[in-house]
Amino acid sequence: MNTDSPKFCRRCLLKDISSDEYFNTIYEYIENLDASQKVSSNEYEKRLDSCRSCDHLVNGMCELCGCFVEVRAIKRQSHCAQSSEIW
Ligand code: SF4
């Protein structure tokens, strides 16, 4: 990735950036979401605990939807890919 590029690279593929840059981008994305789009920190941790104990969590991703669960779980409008009764 070009170091002169803006914070978010809209045109980069995973193979074009380092894993450190990629994960930092995910956390920056979460950080920069508008507060109105996010669940409370308590709800976020509750959701992540559900994912941690779920057999569908693989390397930080939900194998049912392909999302990084930390991104999916932060969004108020999102729900668990398996069931909205889980979160
Ligand atoms: S989103 Fe739901 S199905 Fe996916 S890993 Fe989390 S708890 Fe499991």
What digits encode the pLDDT tens for the residues 21-61?
Answer: 888 989 999 999 999 999 999 999 999 999 999 999 999 99
Q: Whole-angstrom Cα distance, residue 48 to residue 80? A: 10
User: Is 22 in contact with 42 (CB distance < 8 Å)?
Assistant: no
> What pLDDT is recorded for position 5?
46
Ligand 1: which of 69, 75, 84, 85 to mutate, judged by most atoms within 8 Å of the beta carbon? Answer: 69
Residue that wins the pLDDT comparison between 21 and 72: 72
Residue ranges per structural domain of the chain? 14-74
Name 75's bridge partners: 38
Q: Whole-angstrom Cα distance, residue 86 to residue 79? A: 8
Pocket-forming residues, ligand 1, beta carbon under 6 Å: 50-51, 54, 56-57, 62, 64, 69, 72, 80-82, 86
User: Is 65 in contact with 81 (CB distance < 8 Å)?
Assistant: yes
Q: What is the value of pTM for the model shown?
A: 0.84
Q: What is the rounded end-to-end Cα distance, in angstroms, of the chain?
A: 36
pLDDT tier for residue 68 given thresholds of 50, 70 and 90 = very high
